[in-house]
Every structure is written in structure tokens, then in C-alpha cells.
Amino acid sequence: MYLVKSPLLLKWFYPSLTWNKSRSEKIVYLTFDDGPIPNVTDFVLNTLKSFDVKATFFCIGDNISKHPMVFERVKNEGHAIGNHTFNHLKGWKTDDETYIQNILKCQQLTQTNLFRPPYGRIKKSQIKSLKSKVKSLKSYRDSELRTNDSGLEIIMWDVLSGDFDLNLSPEKCYQNVIKNTQNGSIVVFHDSLKAFDRLHYTLPKVLKYLSEKGYQFGTL
Ligand SMILES: [Zn+2]
């Protein structure tokens, strides 16, 4: 069970998280979670390049370790990188210390100020601890970690493509995105094997549609 469009109540309950960007500018932020994965991530990079679009990739540390060349390609092509934990942990089911350590392990590879919790599941205590932990880490590892004063920015989304849903038709996945995207939307896709059938169909069409509607594409 998931919602394509993030409800206002959730945004109200977690105000310190980023759910969308400015609604007054015609810019959309495409994000890709769970990579890097050979072929799948390469397809995303090729497609983005053909539209001259930059995006943000929330990478799993374990996948970066396994596929360093694909990760290098993401960085070299000018996309933004986000931390998505080392082992794709579910915050609600993980104790805070284990969760934070797993993020820090990923952080050694991603060196970013962006974090997205897997499944969008994170406890308030983890949010708090994450911000302060990274902040204290900053004091002695400033040169290695590109964090700002408030620690990591936690990036959620306002549009979920549903590309991970094996029961969703590719066309419905495409409709999910174009019907819900507006100025400042943060849209979630997955560069994973599971999502590939829907992603392969949807991504080029979304880029074409939104470009024709006059949207620009930004990185977080
Ligand atoms: Zn994920």
C-alpha cells in the first residue's frame, strides 16, 4: 500500500523534512533511488543525457561498493548524489544507533548533504539523532563530509511513480507522474531491476511530456 501523492497531513507531521521545492518556479526534481545497478542506471543516464537533464541519485552504499564504475559515471555526468543508507534499512524497524551507523557507513562513499530514508520510513528520534550526529562528525571531518550546519537535509517527495510496483502497468506509472507533477515537485523513480520494466517505458515519456510543457529540471 502506498500513495502516489504525499498527503498534507504527513507533510504537517514532519515539517523538518523536504517534501517539495518552490511552487513558484517551473522546475521539477527527478530522483532515482536504490542504484547504482549496471544497465539499469546506465539506461537512466543515457536517457537523461539525451534530454540534457540532470537529476539526483539516492544510492545504496552496498551497491556503490559492488558497482563503483557505474557510481563514477553518475558523478562524472554531473548528477547530484544522495545517501540512501548502506543496506536499505527500514527506519521504523531499526534501532537508532544501528540506523545512524548504517547511514554514516554509506556517507563515506556518497559524501553528500542529502539523505532519503528507504521506504520513507524514519522515526522522529532518528531525524533528531541524524542531524546532531552528522553535525558533531562535521567538527572533525569537515574536509571529508560536505555537510551544512544543520547536518543532512532529509529529502522526501510529493510524487511517487510506483515504478517498483510489479502490479502496475507501465502506462499507469506514466500517468501517475504526469497527473501529479507540478512546480517544485520531487518525483521518485528507482534505478533497480524490479522497477526496470515500468521505468524503461515511463522515463523517456515523462521527460518528453514535461519538457514540452515548459518545465526545467533541477538537482537537489
Ligand atoms: Zn529505496
169, part of any domain: yes
Q: Is residue 165 part of a domain?
A: yes
* pLDDT of amino acid 150: 42
CA of 117 to the centre of ligand 1 (A): 7
- Please determine, for residue 4, whether its predicted confidence score (pLDDT) is greater than 90: no
Q: Looking at mean pLDDT, say which of 96-100, 105-109, 205-209 comes out highest.
A: 205-209
- The pLDDT value recorded for residue 14 is 75
Mean pLDDT for 203-220 is 98
Asked if the structure places residue 3 within a domain, the reply is: no
Residue 195 CA, ligand 1 centroid: distance in Å: 11
Centre of ligand 1 to C-alpha 88, Å, is 6
In a domain, 78, yes or no: yes
* Residue 72 included in any domain: yes
In a domain, 2, yes or no: no
Q: Can you give the pTM of this predicted structure?
A: 0.91
The count of domains in the chain is: 1
In the reported structure, the alpha carbon of residue 84 is separated from the centroid of ligand 1 by a whole-number distance in angstroms of: 7
Closest to 48 measured CA to CA, from 159, 191, 214, 220: 191
Residue burial 160-184, b: 16+ Cβ < 10 Å; e: rest: bbbbbbeebeeeebbbbbeebbeeb
CATH of the domain at 189: 3.20.20.370
Question: Rounded mean pLDDT of 17-38?
Answer: 96
pLDDT of residue 146: 44
Does residue 1 fall inside a structural domain? no
How many angstroms is it from 135 CA to the middle of ligand 1?
Answer: 24
Domain of 197? 8-217
- Residue of 48, 60, 125 lying closest to 87 (CA atoms): 60
How far, in Å, from the CA of 14 to the mean position of ligand 1? 19
Q: How many angstroms is it from 34 CA to the middle of ligand 1?
A: 5
Residue 61 lies in a domain: yes
Distance from Cα 118 to the centre of ligand 1, integer Å? 4
Residue for grid cell 502497468:
169
> 121-152 pLDDT, tens per residue?
999 889 888 776 655 554 444 444 444 444 68
Report the separation in Å between the CA atom of 101 and the middle of ligand 1, taken as the mean of its atom positions. Answer: 17
pLDDT digits (tens, 9 = 90+) for 162-211: 999 999 999 999 999 999 999 999 999 999 999 999 999 999 999 999 99
Residue 20 in this model has a pLDDT that exceeds 90: yes
